[in-house]
Amino acid sequence: MARAGRVLAVKWGMNPNSSSLGVDVTFLLAGATVVAALTPLGGALLRLRRPTLAGPPPESPPRG
């Protein structure tokens, strides 16, 4: 039977800042247990939304 797969990480929110990449640290207030639950929550939401792949898969760039 095929493995279900894992959600590795979730980057919450958008980044309107045009100079650098921001990350929501508010979740750190809740502690590791809640953060650990957020990732499966993201997975559950994704399954509900049934995402589709768009466009041809690009080639991977080399590591410099």
Partner 1 sequence: MAERSARLEAFGAIVQLRRPRALAFVDRAWARRRLGVGGAPALWRDPAADGDIGRAPLSAPLEAHLQLTNRCGAGCQGCYTGASPQGAPGEWGLARWKRAIDELAAMGVFHVALGGGESTLLPWLGELARHARARGLVPNLTTAGLEGLEALLPIAHLFGQINVSLDGLGPTYARVRGFDGFARVDAALVALRLIKREIGINVVVTRENFAELGAIFAHARRRRLHEVELLRFKPSGRGAAAYARLRCTDAQHRALLPVVLAAARRHRMRAKLDCSYTPMIAHHAPAPAMLAQLSVYGCTGGDFLVGAKATGAVTACSFAAPPPPAADGARPTVDELARYWRRDDAFGAFRTWQAAAAPCASCAYLRLCRGGCRVVSAHTLGDAAAPDPECPRVVDAGGGRRRSLPLASPAISG
Binding site for partner 1 (CB under 8 A): 2-29, 32, 35-36, 38-39, 42-43, 45-47, 49-55, 57-64
Q: Closest approach of Cβ 43 to partner 1, in Å? A: 7
Residue in 53, 35, 61, 46 with CA at minimum distance from that of residue 5: 46
Residue in 3, 15, 8 with CA at minimum distance from that of residue 42: 8
Q: Closest approach of Cβ 37 to partner 1, in Å? A: 10
Q: Closest approach of Cβ 29 to partner 1, in Å? A: 5
Locate 18 and state its tokens.
Answer: 């045009």
